[in-house]
Chains A and B, each alone.
Chain A
Amino acid sequence: MTRVLDIQGLTKGFTMHHLGNRLAAFDNISFSLEAGEFLLLKGTNGAGKSTLLRTIYRSYLPQSGKVLFQSDQGEIDLARAADIDITHLRRTEIGFVTQFLTARPRVSAEALVAEPLRMAGQSAEDALQEARRWLAAFGVKPDLWRAYPTTFSGGEQQKVNLARALILPQKLLLLDEPTASLDATARAALVARLAELKASGTAMIGVFHHPDDVAHLIDRVIDLTPDAPKPEEREDVAV
């Protein structure tokens, strides 16, 4: 199998200067991930699941440790890569899916979804076609495709967000509770898309409040609850 990610001794805490203290999020985490592998992060609230995802994506800066990512241009340590390299990877190889859409004024739903394809070099017309296909798959009504998502309900925004985040296959996909508050149609479309991406080799790390939807995709579980058994000992555990 092809290694995608190798995390070694990753430690993250938040120094809160005004309180004069440091809040530990997680300590000395190590695991690796192969292409096409789906890893579920579990743990109690506050165990650091989302924090770990954001640290890999570099929305958070880790204190120590390595996040070795096998990019198309060779290995790079995401924990200390230059900002411009991170921006580049976020555009090309690493995706992050949350439940929240960052809508932009005067950008239509279909244009927002098509954007990653256009940035990857597809023609505007092809990208739009593909975008509409995905909006339909996630159950967004055609009347809304040309409207501005800033005015959409939370649920509809989330569907646009998912379509946008998943339209372009990426090497590594980080999923932060993408199913929360989705209706059944959208949930089914999401799970089908994740299965397709997994089969095409996308490595995924996900946090799911109710992992039942994706149970059949999960290869491995890591429990971040403090004092939980080591991940190595839990490889065979079902959800």
Chain B
Amino acid sequence: MTLQLDAPRLVKTRPLVTVRNVSKCYGDVVALNDVSASVYPGEVLGIVGESGSGKSTLLRMMNLEETPDRGSYTLDLPDVQGNLFDLDRFARRMLCATKIGIVYQNPHLGLLMKHSSSGNVAERLLVAGERSFATLRQKAKVALEASEFPLERLDAPPIELSGGMQQRVQLAKAIALEPALLLLDEPTTGLDVSVQAMVLDTLKHLQQERAITMVIVSHDLGVIRTMADRVMVMRRGEVVEQGLADQTFQDPQHAYTQQLVHAKL
């Protein structure tokens, strides 16, 4: 029905992220079924789909928190080789700390809620081997500033902060080491609409200034529309459609995507 697209011919850059034929079952439940995805340097890939579609599972795999039953994952970086799912725990931890940043929907997953905000960011730097206290504090401050976190609250623990501010601390932690890849799992879900707009605005700014490659998962099409260059639509562990963001929203091909787009207010 739909035309099969050609392989890239004009753009010679290789994708930064390549996920190939990833499958994962939890008992009888198929979480991911033969999913492949690629993200080019500087590109923002949006993944949409309803709860249970497998979009967050895929993101957690990109953050090496889970290993699939089958499939491979590579990052095209000078000092990173091979299928990342084959790495041992120590190598994974190092790679995640230095090359990949993540912001979760639930800040409890990403932050120590009772430690200071600057301490949370500095922890990430510690993992990467930074030991000087002055440097730690300075770098944490820079990252928090880039995330537009109010610096007078540097020492406040996340538990005392609003939801929007907690997300900024997570973001600062994620970008502190200038990762090649930033993963965002429903980063604005559950926030007030105005706070949501401000967090998205910060992300957009960061993306433009640093050209960070991003993968953003959301069930909110508005968020994806604002952020993504390209969209992948998932359902029941499979990719039902992918394409340029404007094309996917204006001319959705698959019945499920049409339903999703039309359901948007």
Contact = CB atoms under 8 A, between A and B. Distances in A.
Interface in A20-58: 54, 58
A63 B3 contact: yes
B11 A88 contact: yes
A238 interface: no
B235 interface: no
Interface stretch (B109-117, B162-170, B239-247): B239-247
Interface residues of A, number: 32
Interface in A48-72: 54, 58-64, 71
Interface stretch (B138-146, B149-157, B248-256): B248-256
Interface stretch (A9-17, A138-146, A186-194): A9-17
A64 B10 contact: no
B65 interface: no
Chain B residues touching A, range: 20 to 34
A86 B3 contact: no
Contacts, number: 86
A116 B229 CA distance: 16
B10 A88 contact: yes
B205 interface: yes
B4 interface: yes
A104 B2 CA distance: 33
A54 B250 CA distance: 10
Nearest to A86: B244
Interface stretch (A77-85, A164-172, A213-221): A77-85
Contacts of A71: 10
Given A85-B10, A106-B201, A15 B243 contact: no
A58 B244 contact: yes
A198 to B, nearest CB: 25
Interface of B: 1-11, 40, 43, 197, 201, 204-205, 229-230, 242-244, 246-247, 250-251, 253-255, 258-259, 262
Interface of A: 14-18, 54, 58-64, 71, 73-74, 76-77, 79-89, 104-106
Given A59-B247, A82-B5, A83-B5, 13 more contacts: A59-B244, A59-B246, A61-B2, A64-B3, A80-B6, A81-B9, A82-B7, A82-B8, A82-B11, A85-B8, A87-B43, A87-B230, A105-B201
29 contacts: A17-B258, A17-B259, A18-B258, A54-B250, A59-B250, A60-B251, A61-B247, A62-B3, A63-B3, A71-B10, A73-B9, A76-B9, A80-B5, A81-B6, A82-B6, A82-B11, A83-B5, A83-B230, A83-B242, A84-B11, A84-B40, A84-B43, A85-B9, A85-B11, A87-B43, A87-B229, A105-B197, A105-B204, A106-B201
